[in-house]
Amino acid sequence: MKFFVDTAEIDAIAELNELGIVDGVTTNPSLIKKSGRDILEVTREIADLVDGPVSAEVVATEADAMIAEGRKLATIAENIAIKLPLTWDGLKACKTLSSEGHMINVTLCFSANQALLAAKAGATFISPFIGRLDDINLDGMQLIADIRQIYDNYGFETEILAASIRTVNHVSEAARIGADVMTAPPEVIRKLAQHPLTDKGLDQFLKDAEAAGIRIV
């Protein structure tokens, strides 16, 4: 499973990237707003920092304007994935921009039918929003499973990018089902390394080492 970081905070991306676990970055207007920086400036800095896809989202709602914005975003760097909403106009823009050879991340997916349309339109990534479905008492993981089955049935190459991940259980469940990619905030990725038994075991090891007078250097 590929790990994308869902943030526009450069320091957080750099820290995780140093560990070699960052395969890409996803941003959106809300995350850019949090960073307090210009969208083109921060996106360019992120794209220079990581080797994998960096999703940069359009803000237009009509197909022609989305296409124009997408082409502009694609000039930032070769690893830009143009992020488009899963609307009818977004699908039109996806078809045009993907036909031009651009990477496309179709976002705000909440149904298997939407995911099917995105794949047909040439999306590189489809981003089903797990957490937001859970928020309204629907099963976000079931959507991942449904999309996985449909894509496998017909050999679609669109990668399933599990998004709106809120917990470490979301990550492991998405991996078990077969999502190709997950994107999560830095704090969720850091929590993947945590377990109370690891902490307990390490504490005991250190106490025993101190009692035995063990020194390595």
Catalytic residues: 83
Q: Any bridge partners for residue 174, and if so which?
A: none
Gap between the Cα atoms of 107 and 168, Å rounded? 21
3-state secondary structure of 160: strand
Tell how far CA 195 is from the center of its chain: 24
94, 123 in Cβ contact below 8 A?
A: yes
- For residue 30, the tally of other CB atoms under 10 A from its CB is 9
Q: Any bridge partners for residue 84, and if so which?
A: 106
